[in-house]
Amino acid sequence: MAYDATKMADWEISEAAEKHMKSIWQLQEELGLEKDEIMPYGRIGKLDFLKIIDRFKDRPDGKYIEVTAITPTPLGEGKTTTSMGLIEGLGKRGKNVGGCIRQPSGGPTMNIKGSAAGGGNAQAIPLTEFSMGLTGDINDIMNAHNLAMVALTARMQHEFNYSDDILASKNLKRLDIDPRNVEFRWVIDFCAQALRNIIIGIGGKMDGFMMESHFAIAVSSELMAILSIVRDLPDLRERLGKIIVAYDKKGNPVTTADLEVDGAMCAWMRNTINPTLLQTVEGQPVMVHAGPFANIAVGQSSIIGDRIGLKLFDYHVTESGFGCDIGFEKFWNVKCRFSGLKPNVSVLTATIRALKMHGGGPKVVPGRPLDPAYTEQNLELLEKGIVNLLHHINIVKQSGVKPVVCINSFHTDTQEEIDLVKRYAEQAGARCAVSQHWLKGGEGALELADAVTDAANEEVDFKFLYPLEMPLRERVDVIAKNVYGADGVSWTPEAEAKAKKFESDPAFRDFATMMVKTHLSLSHDPNLKGAPKGWILPIRDVLVYAGAKFLCPVAGTISLMPGTASDPAFRRIDVDTKTGKVTGLF
């Protein structure tokens, strides 16, 4: 049954649907899993990846469906809602379907955007567990990451205070860490702008080494990036020892293995390789694995989750963060390269309101009512903004993947507006479907399900945008011109020096290129909407994630620690003290 999404908040729909929710053991039977392949956590559970992938290794893969979007408004355009709706729609068509989505960060959940469970009748349940810690993966990543910082800062203090003889008596070799060249920073899973730049070690010599330090949001951690792309536990263990935390005074890297903390980090993260199993409002299985923030991280649900889903489901739905220029580009050129998997379809989520914004509509501000331009028919504004949709269709087509445009329909959309978008999308060579999954669940997503099924049955000539042999600066130029639409790339002297160093070192030549850029524009400037022309992409730094094997060129002024707004979601979240249930999540 579909709940009245026009009158019920997401948490109310989740609470109502939870009364009819399948037990973890019912899902286990429906998926054909053994009881020892499920690790229960209250009403939900983890899947034992190693056991499942070994038992199903000879089963053919199902269809691989990726969900992405146009450049979003600050409100988001409903990729997870579309993912859940598509799964429900395929379920209504009798398909064996499931998916894998990303675990929400506590930062957005307690800030403006809210949770990432989807919405209305197209969401993952139970919402409270999903939104508030789930089975502890982000907490384990945070502990493992901060343990590396503890190891680093403690070692710096001891090397500063003790002679070589005393260090040798403790079986320690002097690493001679340069305090001005520390790569790592602390992490916390909230949007805490006050922690972006800090001084640590204030006090006496027993209070640590005094230096400038920083915080980032937990899901931007290299450890989350590693979890997204590892194939198994041995792969995780090996990568955790290669993380560069700092450099010594000669410029040589200091790794987690040098600090002898990598084994303990793996101990914290040992259970994170197992995806968590939830379900849609309509009872289809949905895994949750890895994290969000494709603008500052990889932003993909995990390779492990996709490997399981392709064995268990005939149709497996995965999602990529933000727009095609960020999430899909990383899915295409990084995730698929690491996994060896080839997608059958990419669903490009679009909304009428976002296209109007790209046509020059009034600024969209989270927490404020939408301008009437977004809720009343305006074909001229809409037509001007469709250029953004067409640009994203072209991005997907460059990969050889079949694009299916999903118009994530709002009740304020008019038929004339929908027809206009469909006409342009189909002229550009994409299928286009209107979906009302938020309002009607699976019944509202049947047109989308049929379009995806048709596209999935066609052959795909999948190809990467660039070869791994291409030098870093050339790759960035190719991405900037072919994906973002830039005229070229400019490098600060510091960033170019780093790039040249990485290009000359054979150890970095097979590293993936993981762009760091705003999600609110195809460009580096969030204020440039539509499909900007005549601009240059500025690269100001290159981060190195040696464990994940990523080189991360940083465009513009993007921060690894978002800020909390003046009217955050936590003001409306509470607990019903009679039932113990959480209220106000969205």
Q: pLDDT per residue over 26-53, tens digit each? A: 999 999 999 999 999 999 999 999 999 9
In angstroms, what CA-CA distances link 445 with 239, 430, 586? Answer: 41, 18, 21
Q: What residues have CB less than 8 Å from 410, skipping those under 6 apart?
A: 351, 352, 353
pLDDT tens sequence across 366-399: 777 889 989 999 999 999 999 999 999 999 999 9
pLDDT tens sequence across 414-465: 999 999 999 999 999 999 999 999 999 999 999 999 999 999 999 999 999 9
Directed axis angle between helix 222-229 and helix 233-240, to 10°? Answer: 150
What pLDDT, on the 0 to 100 scale, is given for residue 559? 82
CA distance 285 to 60: 19
Q: With beta carbons less than 8 A apart as the criterion, state whether 297 and 322 touch.
A: no
Residue 215's SS3 state is strand
Span 539-562, mean pLDDT?
A: 91
CA distance 319 to 412: 26
Amino acid at site 409: S
Directed axis angle between helix 493-504 and helix 472-479, to 10°? Answer: 120
Share of the chain above pLDDT 90, in %: 88
What pLDDT, on the 0 to 100 scale, is given for residue 196? 96
Comparing CA positions, the residue from 74, 73, 70 lying closest to residue 82 is 70
- For 167, list phi and psi in degrees, rounded to 5: -60, -45
Directed axis angle between helix 222-229 and helix 137-161, to 10°? Answer: 130
All domains in the chain, ordered by first residue: 10-135+272-456 (3.40.50.300), 137-266 (3.30.1510.10), 472-555 (3.10.410.10)
pLDDT tens sequence across 196-239: 999 999 998 899 999 999 999 999 999 999 999 999 999 999 99
pLDDT at 155 over 70: yes
Q: With beta carbons less than 8 A apart as the criterion, state whether 316 and 303 touch.
A: no
In angstroms, what CA-CA distances link 295 with 336, 346, 373, 405, 557? Answer: 18, 19, 28, 22, 12
B/e letters for 394-407, b = 16+ CB within 10 Å, e = fewer, are bbbebbebbbbbbb
Q: With beta carbons less than 8 A apart as the criterion, state whether 535 and 523 touch.
A: yes
CA distance 51 to 308: 10
Polymer length of the chain? 586
CA distance 579 to 427: 54
Number of Cβ within 10 Å of residue 247's Cβ equals 17
Joined together, the tokens standing for residue 85 give 């709706």
- Give the single-character DSSP code of 516: B
Burial of 576 (0-12, 13-18, 19+ CB in 10 A): exposed
* Beta bridge pairs of residue 73: none
CA distance 375 to 356: 10
Rounded to the nearest integer, the mean pLDDT of the chain is: 95
pLDDT tens sequence across 60-119: 999 999 999 999 988 778 899 999 999 999 999 999 999 999 999 998 899 987 888 899
Active-site residue set: 79, 81, 102, 113, 294, 322, 410, 438
CA distance 34 to 406: 36
CA distance 196 to 562: 9
Q: What residues have CB less than 8 Å from 274, skipping those under 6 apart?
A: 39, 46, 47, 48, 49
Residue 385's SS3 state is helix
